Chains A and B, each alone.
Chain A
Amino acid sequence: MSRDAARQPPRGARSQSQGPRASSRMRAWGRHHRAMCLDSARRLLRHPLGSLLTMLAIAIALVLPAALWLALDSARVLDAELEESATLTVYLAHQVEEAQAGRINEAIGAHEGVARTRLITAAEGMAEFQQALGLADALGRLDDNPLPASVVVSPVDPEPEAVRQLAESLDDLAGVDEVRLDLAWLERLRHLAELGSRLALALGVLFGLGVLLVVGNTIRLAVESRRQEIEVVMLIGATHAFVRRPFLYSGAWYGLGGGLLAWGLLGLGNEWLAAPVRALAASYGATFQLPQLGAAGSATLLICSTLLGWLGAWIAVSRHLAEIRPR
């Protein structure tokens, strides 16, 4: 936005009037901004239903990418927690005796890159298995314990590549039957998160464009309905910035209103989903909270929506100012 009031009149014009001083020009500029800010708000309030519908359209366009972004944010937190708990399971050979298993466990514990180990003997493994599956009766009928002893290894470096190398070197130890990485699903989750964040970005861009179009179209109609006024003020020396200003404020108000509605809708959605999510998490023996926008997130949402409204208005008005030429 150019500050028309601060610009110099052409020389021929200046000789005919002593231009106001810079400070008073700045005051006039600020005064017009204030006046247009309020005037555009009043115009919106004069048609409350129409304004609300426009804002609702903006809000709906904003809710989807914002919700996706929130979900990804919580997935990132989850991912960090899971990474810390990334483990390897080393299955020992069947014929390994219990005492021997203890020694192998110590050997693994002394191995480079291993933070902690936990030995699960064949009997303990069976007990856990029975408990987890609730199949005590069926398994109890087995004569022989089919499970091998195992060692759960926590690596120092939880990076997938480092863990994979550690697994290979542990596999070479005597008495080790198989090393299983519990990483596959972690990597899958990570790929999913990557996919999700790209999707959120693409949706964000698309729906951002949607907001621009909604605001642009609304402002286009407003410009059309005030065409005569625009022509007159341009005839008597209004700059483009002066003409544009009220519409930019209208756009910003639409954006802000849409952002506030989107914020409210996200809150409602959160309320709506909280109970089933809590129940679902509880069934996994976990506590999981739906992600909240927070102060920073709310501010980002409102600022982005306001800026989008402003930009949409700018594009619409600029396109039309080029068309409108005083008769």
Chain B
Amino acid sequence: MIVFEHVGKRYGGRFEALANLDFRVRRGEMVFLTGHSGAGKSSLLRLIMRLERPTRGRVLVAGHDIARLHASQVPFYRRQIGVVFQDHQLLLDRSIYHNVALPLEIRGVEPREAARRVRAALDKVGLLHREKALPIELSGGEQQRVGIARAVVNKPSLLLADEPTGNLDPQLSADIMALFEDFNRIGTTVVIASHDLALITRLRHRMLRLRDGRLVADEEAA
């Protein structure tokens, strides 16, 4: 699903965010990306989302070198990926329903079909009863679950999450991780960047450890 071949990323010609990354993530796998802040987790996710291009090496997603996608194709590529952000990035002037519907609106999904899928996604994260609420009326954990619903409403084959439990207490964090495991169980490839080692070691999935932009350990699920 994802292949990194000798990938390096420098910013401004000097600062080396990532160096010589070489790994692959199989289809349907669930992988944690861990390391201290500044280790390069976010940079790595940004490369997969094609927000940036590697300065060295190649990143292949579903067999395609994504650096070679034309700018006009990038939006269509991103539609195949669900992304969950640490700060959830919800639109504050829209209801929960319309936040989750946004990716479908962008894809031009027919409204009745969109409504069905939005409700299914909200139901999955347990927030169907809050569809008319505005994001600020929700707790941090609920907002994050709305972010997850928005990421999966398109049924992406790849789900990325950048510190999805960063601001949550342990119990909520565990709930969120359980949600990701559910999506992984139905075949979605999941890559989660997290520094919450206590939580993710308990979950027993493959773990990629980064330190100063280098891959220092690749521990298969126990």
Contacts and interface: CB of A to CB of B under 8 A. Distances in A.
Interface of A: 2, 4-5, 7-13, 15-17, 20, 24-25, 27-29, 31-32, 228-229, 231-240, 242, 325-326
Interface residues of B, number: 30
Interface in B58-96: 61-64, 69, 72-73, 75-80, 83, 89, 91
Interface of B: 49, 51, 61-64, 69, 72-73, 75-80, 83, 89, 91, 102-103, 105-111, 150, 155, 157
Given A27-B110, A235-B51, 14 more contacts: A5-B108, A8-B76, A9-B73, A10-B73, A13-B76, A16-B157, A24-B108, A29-B108, A233-B106, A236-B79, A237-B103, A237-B106, A240-B75, A242-B75
Rank and list the top 4 A-B pairs by shortest CB-CB distance, nearest first: A28-B108, A237-B79, A12-B64, A9-B76
Contacts, number: 89
B103 to A, nearest CB: 5
Nearest to A4: B75
Given A9-B76, A13-B79, A237 B91 contact: no
A23 to B, nearest CB: 12
B51 A326 contact: yes
Contacts of A8: 76
Contacts of B61: 12
Contact of A32 (B69, B79, B83, B105): B105
Given A9-B73, A229-B91, A326-B51, A236 B108 contact: no
Given A11-B64, A27-B110, A228-B91, A237 B76 contact: yes
Nearest to A238: B106
- With most chain B CB atoms within 10 A of its CB, the pick from A8, A9, A231 is A9
B198 to A, nearest CB: 28
B173 to A, nearest CB: 23
B75 A17 contact: no
B150 A17 contact: no
A4 B110 CA distance: 16
Nearest to A6: B108
A25 B80 CA distance: 17
Contact of B110 (A2, A7, A24, A325): A24
Contacts of B89: 228, 231-232, 235
Contacts of B108: 5, 20, 24-25, 27-29, 31-32
A238 B154 CA distance: 13
Contact of A236 (B62, B69, B72, B78): B78
Contact of B107 (A7, A11, A231, A237): A237
